């Protein structure tokens, strides 16, 4: 394994920890969703970690020379994480009991991005055209 591969894999692990943190913030509040959940710090930290490691991965996959990232899937993931940020920041300081949809929508968007990455196959073999 080359150093670049090792660093890429470590970054994927951090990306997955970010996913665990974001989705965990939603899943641990399932019981409270009837009355409205909260934007907990784990969700904010998870979103930041996903964004930073996501961009780092794009660079490293491109640098490998043997694989490339699907740009359409990358665009979808970027739009989805932007929506997550808008929701998380916009509602983090408000009383969410009147906005019952916010935390479930963030959870759903995190699952959408996971499906885009895993089912869509964001990394493909062969150098970019």
Whether 53 contacts 14, CB under 8 Å: yes
Would you say 61 or 96 has its CB closer to ligand HEM?
A: 61
Record the tokens describing residue 81, joined without a space. 């994480």
- Under a CB-based contact definition with an 8 Å cutoff, are residues 81 and 50 in contact? yes
Q: At its nearest, how many Å lie between ligand HEM and the CB of residue 95?
A: 25
**Closest to ligand HEM by CB, 8 or 29:** 8
Minimum CB separation from ligand HEM for residue 6, in Å? 12
Separation of alpha carbons 32 and 111, rounded Å: 19
- Binding-site ranges for ligand HEM (CB under 6 A): 8, 12, 15, 19, 22, 50-51, 54-55, 57-58, 61, 69, 74, 77-78, 80-81, 84, 110, 113-114, 117-118, 122-123
How many Å apart are CA 53 and CA 51, to the nearest integer? 6
Q: How far is the CB of 31 from ligand HEM (least distance, A)?
A: 23
Q: Which residue is nearest to ligand HEM (CB)?
A: 54
| Helical (H) or strand (E) element with 104 | helix 102-118
C-beta closer to ligand HEM: residue 80 or 105 = 80
What is the C-alpha to C-alpha distance for residues 22 and 48, in angstroms, rounded to an integer?
Answer: 9
Instruction: Using the minimum distance from each CB to ligand HEM, give the nearer residue, 66 or 98.
Output: 66
């Amino acid at each position: 394994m080359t150093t670049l591969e090792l660093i890429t894999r470590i970054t994927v692990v951090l990306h997955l920890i970010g996913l665990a943190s974001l989705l965990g913030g939603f899943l641990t509040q399932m019981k409270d969703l009837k009355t409205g959940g909260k934007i907990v710090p784990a969700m904010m930290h998870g979103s930041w970690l996903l964004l930073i490691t996501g961009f780092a991965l794009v660079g490293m996959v491109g640098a490998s020379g043997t694989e490339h990232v699907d740009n359409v899937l990358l665009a979808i993931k970027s739009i989805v994480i932007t929506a997550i940020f808008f929701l998380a920041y916009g509602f983090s300081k408000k009383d969410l009991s009147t906005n019952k949809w916010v935390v479930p929508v963030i959870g759903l968007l995190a699952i959408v991005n996971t499906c885009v990455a895993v089912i869509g196959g964001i990394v493909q073999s062969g150098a970019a055209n």
